[in-house]
């Protein structure tokens, strides 16, 4: 990334961001007319919080202490007209929800992740305190099979000690390397402390390339 890219990216993330719509099922998806980046992960891992941190707007995507807050696919347009779209997803692996709800969410999440043409990359969020769980592995395998690229993103890094963080990073990265669709760059974040947010922004910009970035055509 050049300095121009970095400043164009910063402008984009601090410019207009608008809620587009909620899709409780696939027939309510918006037209696939902008590239999309989806935030997936277990319930309560911090998807909505990280989306808010990325665009620097508190309360844009609704967050909660109670798992199961986000129940639909929520689409947010970044840029006006939209340059790309962020998709906040319901969490998977929420054991306390009624079984039919769990099943409905699982279908919604899986069908979206593996069948959405406009989806450029998924961010697969993993709580630093918990590391990878079998539900995460299932989703990773599904993304591998669908050839949908994803970044593993560690969340809530502020909640662990530095030594523990290093250990989890090592363990998760080692396992992620065995997954063909996992991007080699794993990103460690804390929405609370603003850690890893610039890196995540850069990863989003790279994923939605080519971008009409300022200065791109001025170099000749």
Which residues bind to ligand GTP, rule: CB under 6 A? Answer: 41, 43-49, 63-65, 67-70, 90-91, 155-156, 158-159, 190-192
Q: Which does 68 bind (CB under 5 to 8 A by kind): ligand GTP, Mg ion, none?
A: ligand GTP
Q: Which does 45 bind (CB under 5 to 8 A by kind): ligand GTP, Mg ion, none?
A: ligand GTP
Q: In the complex with ligand GTP, which residue's Cβ is closer, 62 or 141?
A: 62
The answer to whether residue 71 forms part of the interface with Mg ion (CB under 5 A) is no
Interface with Mg ion (CB under 5 A), residue from 9, 48, 82, 122: 48
Rg (CA), the chain: 17
Residue/partner pairs of 206-209 with CB below 8 Å, 24 or more apart: 206/1, 207/35, 207/37, 207/120, 207/121, 207/149, 208/35, 208/37, 208/83, 208/84, 208/120
Least Å distance, CB 14 to Mg ion, is 22
Cβ-Cβ contacts under 8 Å for 185 (sequence gap 6 or more): 151, 203
Which DSSP letter does residue 65 get? S
Q: Tell me the C-alpha distance between 135 and 192, whole Å.
A: 25
Least Å distance, CB 131 to ligand GTP, is 16
Q: Tell me the C-alpha distance between 76 and 117, whole Å.
A: 17
Q: Which does 79 bind (CB under 5 to 8 A by kind): Mg ion, ligand GTP, none?
A: none
Contacts to Mg ion by CB under 5 A: 47-48, 69-70
């Amino acid at each position: 990334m050049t300095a121009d890219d970095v400043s164009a990216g910063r402008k984009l993330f601090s410019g207009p961001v608008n809620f587009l719509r909620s899709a409780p099922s696939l027939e309510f998806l918006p037209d696939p007319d902008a590239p999309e980046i989806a935030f997936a992960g277990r319930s309560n891992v911090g998807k909505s919080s990280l989306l808010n941190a990325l665009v620097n707007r508190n309360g844009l995507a609704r967050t909660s202490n109670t798992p199961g807050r986000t129940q639909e696919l929520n689409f947010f347009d970044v840029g006006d007209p939209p340059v790309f779209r962020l998709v906040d997803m319901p969490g998977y692996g929420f054991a306390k929800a009624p079984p039919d709800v769990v099943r409905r969410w699982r279908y919604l999440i899986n069908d979206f992740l593996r069948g959405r043409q406009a989806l450029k990359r998924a961010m697969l969020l993993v709580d630093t305190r918990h590391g990878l769980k079998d539900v995460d592995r299932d989703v990773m395998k599904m993304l591998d099979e669908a050839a949908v690229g994803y970044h593993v993103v560690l969340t809530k890094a502020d909640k662990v000690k530095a030594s523990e963080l290093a250990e989890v990073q090592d363990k998760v990265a080692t396992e992620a390397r065995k997954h063909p669709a996992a991007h080699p760059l794993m990103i460690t974040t804390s929405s609370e402390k603003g850690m890893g947010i610039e890196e995540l922004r850069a990863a989003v910009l790279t994923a939605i390339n080519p971008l009409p970035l300022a200065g791109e055509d001025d170099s000749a």
